[in-house]
Amino acid sequence: MPHDHNEHLSPSGHPYREDNDEPLTYWQTMEISIRELLIEKGKFSSSEISEQIDLMDSRSPTDGAAVVAKAWVDPEFKERLLQNGVSAVGEMGFDLGPMHLVVVENTEKVHNLIVCTLCSCYPRNLLGLPPDWYKTREYRSRAVKEPRSVLNEFGVFLPKETSVRVHDSTADMRYIVLPKRPECTSGLTETELASLVTRDSMIGTGIIKELNN
Amino acid sequence: MIKDKRPEHRWHDMGGLEAGPINNESHDFAIWEKRVDALLTLSTKKGLFTVDGLRRVLEDMGEDAFETLSYYERWVSSVNQNLIEAGIYTLEELGEKMAEVKKRGKTYGSAQKVKT
Amino acid sequence: MMILNGSHVKIKDISPPGHLRTPKYIRGKNGVIERCLGVFKNPEQLAYSLRAEEYDLYRVRFKMTELWADYSDNPNDTLDAEVFAHWIEEITNAT
């Protein structure tokens, strides 16, 4: 029996759209049919499906933000993270499953930007599902050819001296950006630091704004 | 593949092509979309097919599908194709099941299997 | 045999009409090996449910000015892509 998720909030904090009352579409008919056939044939159970949905729901940019904050306060952890993303993140209790993770660091000299030009590969097992814009033709086409113009559209304006390094996720690696820690944050706790980290800053289409004290 | 406008450069290989401003809206995923995502993850985890097969079918669907269908509409179509190629169910089983589901009701909610 | 970090390489410039993970815009271009990522199964075979061979997978770094003839931003801008060994040719007399 399919588990009803309507009482849960989606990761954005909004209720799921009331799609139970929507007119049934051809593609929804296909989804229901595939799901039921796979369950009937014993390939998996309905509780495995709902557990997988819960697992994906539990992943969000908050997880990535916690990793970033730890890297900011713990230089040795940062080095391990840059060397081997999966094992460092595993130290914090995050299970990335089969996902390979490469963490790339923003500095004064280098700003990183992540894209998948061929489809929509994204570090979903750490950050949750990708935003719609990441999958668009416009982002996929332009990020690798005119990254600064793309960054400007996202409100990121880099100094001329900073070079851009774009990463196209063409194979088995998935990437997150380790954004630069803003100035004047030495008094903040790791949790407070994590709350500054946005999803877009871990894709490279955002930066952490400097705090104005 | 032969439908590509430039057959030497496949439509999905988008890096460097001319394109306009990025629409940075996002939508919350509907439950049926999350179920499609879960079907893909569990199917690949259990070795029924690979994410490479998912991508190959998405590519072969052509550019029109990318323009006219939503992300998860294309995904469910690709998941289905991959499961058929893997022999997990027959077309007859799929057709009969889809007909049965449609008979249950006119909304997504009423088309779910009746609780027994 | 593994290609060393820093080696100059060229990406093969062929365009077979099937499932590939070597984007068109890097084919025929010169780059540098940034690191070897290990051995992975060939997606060109996995996609068709064939038994897949394993190849070394590399991150290759390209200058944007190498990829795009009209690139006018910072000449130090780069692009990194993951490329399988069978798409990579070592350039032995790199300048």
Question: Amino acid identity, residue A54?
Answer: D
Task: State mean pLDDT over B78-103.
Answer: 98
The reply to whether C40 touches chain B by the CB within 8 Å rule is no
| Catalytic-role residue among A33, A119, A184, A195 | A119
Residue of A46, A50, A60, A120 marked active site? A120
Residue B51 CB contacts under 8 Å (≥ 6 apart), including other chains? B40, B44
Residue C95 lies in a domain: no
pLDDT at C94 over 70: no
Residue B7: per-residue pLDDT: 75
A120 is catalytic: yes
- Mean pLDDT for chain B overall: 93
pLDDT, tens only, C77-89: 999 999 999 999 9
Residue C82 lies in a domain: yes
Residue A19 banded pLDDT, cuts 50, 70, 90: confident
> What is the pLDDT confidence band of residue A212, given thresholds at 50, 70 and 90?
low
Alpha-carbon gap: B3 to the closest alpha carbon of chain A (Å): 18
Q: Greater confidence, A43 or B26?
A: A43
> Which ipTM value was assigned to this complex?
0.96
Two structure tokens written together for B65: 């599908």
Chain C residues in contact with A166 (beta carbon < 8 A): 64, 77-80
From CA B74, how far away is CA A162, in angstroms rounded? 39
Q: Distance (Å, rounded) from C-alpha A121 to C-alpha C48?
A: 19
State the residue for tokens 């369950």: A39
pLDDT tens digits for A140-179? 999 999 999 999 999 999 999 999 999 999 999 999 999 9
Q: Report the alpha-carbon distance of residue C48 to residue C93 in Å, rounded.
A: 37
Asked if A91 has any chain B CB less than 8 Å from its own CB, the reply is no
Burial class from Cβ neighbours inside 10 Å (0-12, 13-18, 19+) for residue A35 reads buried
Residue A7 has pLDDT above 90, yes or no: no
Q: What is the 3-state secondary structure (H, E, C) of B40-83?
A: HHHHHHCCCCCHHHHHHHHHHCCHHHHHHCCHHHHHHHHHHHHH
- Which residue in C34, C35, C27 sits closest to C10, CA to CA? C27
Q: Is residue C31 part of a domain?
A: yes
Q: Would the pLDDT of A14 be above 70?
A: no
Q: Is residue C2 part of a domain?
A: no
Cα(first)–Cα(last) distance of chain A, in Å? 55
Is there a contact between A59 and A125 (Cβ–Cβ < 8 Å)?
yes
Q: Which domain range does residue C50 map to?
A: 8-90
Question: Does the CB of A99 have a partner CB in chain C at under 8 Å?
Answer: no
Contact partners of B by the rule of 3+ C-beta pairs under 8 A? A, C
pLDDT at A17 over 80: no
Backbone angles phi, psi at C46, to 5 degrees: -55, -35
Per-residue pLDDT tens digits for A107-123: 999 999 999 999 999 99
In order of start, what are the domains of chain A with their CATH numbers? Answer: 22-58 (no CATH), 61-203 (3.90.330.10)
Residue A49 Cα to chain centre, angstroms: 22
For the residues A49-56, what does the mean pLDDT come to? Answer: 96
Which residue, chain included where needed, has tokens 């509780």?
Answer: A47
Our CA angle for B18, B23, B24, nearest 5°, is 130
Domain count for chain C: 1
Assigned domain for C3 exists: no
Q: How far is C22 from chain B (nearest CA, A)?
A: 9
Domain map (residue ranges) of chain B? 31-90
With bands split at pLDDT 50, 70 and 90, how would you rate the model's confidence at B5?
A: low
In a domain, C15, yes or no: yes
Per the domain annotation, does C22 fall within a domain? Answer: yes
The answer to whether the CB of A115 falls within 8 A of the CB of A51 is no
Most A CBs within 10 Å, among C24, C37, C73, to test the A interface: C73
C49 part of a folded domain: yes
Q: Do A171 and C57 make contact, defined as CB atoms within 8 angstroms? A: yes
Chain C partners within 8 Å of B7 (Cβ): 17
Distance, in Å, from the CA atom of C60 to the CA atom of C83, rounded to the nearest integer, reads 7
Distances (CA, A) of B28 to A16, A160, B66: 7, 37, 20
**Does the active-site annotation cover A121?**
yes
Reported as a single tens digit per residue, the pLDDT across A53-99 is 999 999 999 999 999 999 999 999 999 999 999 999 999 999 999 99
Judged against a pLDDT cut of 70, whether residue A33 lies above it is answered with yes
For the domain that residue C73 is a member of, what is the CATH number? 2.30.30.50
Instruction: Supply the pLDDT for residue B34.
Output: 97
